[in-house]
Amino acid sequence: MDSSTKPLADRVALVTGGASGIGAAAARRLATDGAHVVIADLDGAGALTTAKEIAEAGGAAWGFECDQTKPDQVDALFDRLVEEHGRLDICVANAGWGRFGTFLEMPRRVWERTFEVNVTGTFAVCQEAARRMATAGNGGSIVVTSSSGAIEPVALFSAYCSAKAALNMMVKIMAYELGQYDIRANAVMPGVTETSMTNSLLDGDSRGYNEAESPLGRLGRPEDVADAIAYLASADSAYVNGAALLVDGGGSAYSPGWFGTDFRVRNSSGWTPRHQQFRFQDNGAR
Ligand SMILES: NC(=O)c1ccc[n+]([C@@H]2O[C@H](COP(=O)([O-])OP(=O)(O)OC[C@H]3O[C@@H](n4cnc5c(N)ncnc54)[C@H](O)[C@@H]3O)[C@@H](O)[C@H]2O)c1
């Protein structure tokens, strides 16, 4: 396809959390569709690596280090983006962070960090993107990576699911308020997707259990979510605004969730992905 006829030709897209997983796949996909892609991540080296891979494949991409919980770093990212690329048409607010454990054991700092990264950090990115888009007057599309956990409770994910539910509401209100500027806001809600975030959860029996619980018989791939993000970023979704699109292979329509316990055993703290004994895993909040 001639580059000028690609669906996102001449569009500038920001993808946060693009160093790995879903964000990296979204950056690759948007670049394939012709967009100039700015990749921002706490992992600056990873963002540069994704950008380099895209450039080597013939796309246009740049990588920046940015911790979205630091307002000065978010401001600096947008200043540079507009200075170097002149415009912003698409914002994929995808960066996220999660730790899991029982509600009784959840440390306050893990709860707070979950909200700081996923809710406040995503708010900061979306607000700055919307401000730049509204000022420029060219409209735009904002896509937030939420989670199927925003609408389906997952045992041991109290902080994460609550944070993602907050994002779904934020997206609806962005859609409501920003439509007058031709800025659309939508969310994708991935189910269990194979990335570095879920690697440790898919050890042992857990992988087979989750595959068996998926109506499509497999886990999600980052590219599955990237395809949905590309749709919401493009003119193909011109009248889709305020939606939250499940990309979970139908898992939430059926699955009883990742973890189970035997509620006949009173005061049991044993949550099992099938046979595996599960206890709180705290890898430390950054
Ligand atoms: N993998 C899944 O099963 C799954 C399911 C539902 C939703 N999600 C969501 O998808 C998004 C992408 O996650 P992923 O699965 O690709 O995991 P991932 O760990 O591969 O990617 C997350 C990226 O976010 C970056 N990040 C973390 N904190 C940051 C911060 N403060 N500032 C900037 N960047 C930061 C990380 O460095 C990383 O590159 C997240 O929002 C996640 O919550 C993932």
Domains observed in the chain: 3-254 (3.40.50.720)
CA distances from 92 to 38, 100, 122, 183 (A): 10, 25, 10, 13
pLDDT of residue 63: 98
pLDDT of residue 207: 83
Residues of the chain with pLDDT below 50 are: 274-280, 283-286
Q: Which of 164, 206, 209, 214 is catalytic?
A: 164
Q: Is 42 in the pocket of ligand 1 (CB under 6 A)?
A: yes
- The closest alpha carbon to 31, from 44, 49, 12, 48, belongs to 12
pLDDT of residue 259: 75
Ligand 1 centroid to Cα of residue 18, in Å, is: 8
The answer to whether 62 and 84 are in contact (CB under 8 A) is: yes
The answer to whether 198 and 225 are in contact (CB under 8 A) is: no
H helix or E strand, kind and range, residue 36: strand 36-41
The answer to whether 67 and 14 are in contact (CB under 8 A) is: no
H helix or E strand, kind and range, residue 188: strand 183-190
Q: Is 174 in the pocket of ligand 1 (CB under 6 A)?
A: no
Ligand 1 atom with the smallest distance to the CA of 47 is 39
Residue 147 is a catalytic residue: yes
pLDDT of residue 135: 97
- The closest alpha carbon to 121, from 82, 151, 93, 162, belongs to 93
H helix or E strand, kind and range, residue 40: strand 36-41
The answer to whether 168 and 187 are in contact (CB under 8 A) is: yes
Q: Is 21 in the pocket of ligand 1 (CB under 6 A)?
A: yes
Ligand 1 atom with the smallest distance to the CA of 149 is 6
Q: What are phi and psi of 177, to 5 degrees?
A: -80, -30
Residue 239 is a catalytic residue: no
Minimal-distance CA residue to ligand 1 atom 36:
17
Q: Is 145 in the pocket of ligand 1 (CB under 6 A)?
A: yes
The answer to whether 257 and 201 are in contact (CB under 8 A) is: no
Which two tokens mark 148?
A: 């199927």
pLDDT of residue 261: 76
Alpha-helical runs (H) found in the chain: 21-32, 44-56, 71-85, 108-115, 122-136, 158-178, 205-213, 222-233, 251-254
Going by DSSP bridges, is the β-strand pair 12-16/140-145 parallel, antiparallel, or unpaired?
Answer: unpaired
Q: Is 150 in the pocket of ligand 1 (CB under 6 A)?
A: no
What contacts 165, CB < 8 A, 6 or more positions away? 150, 151
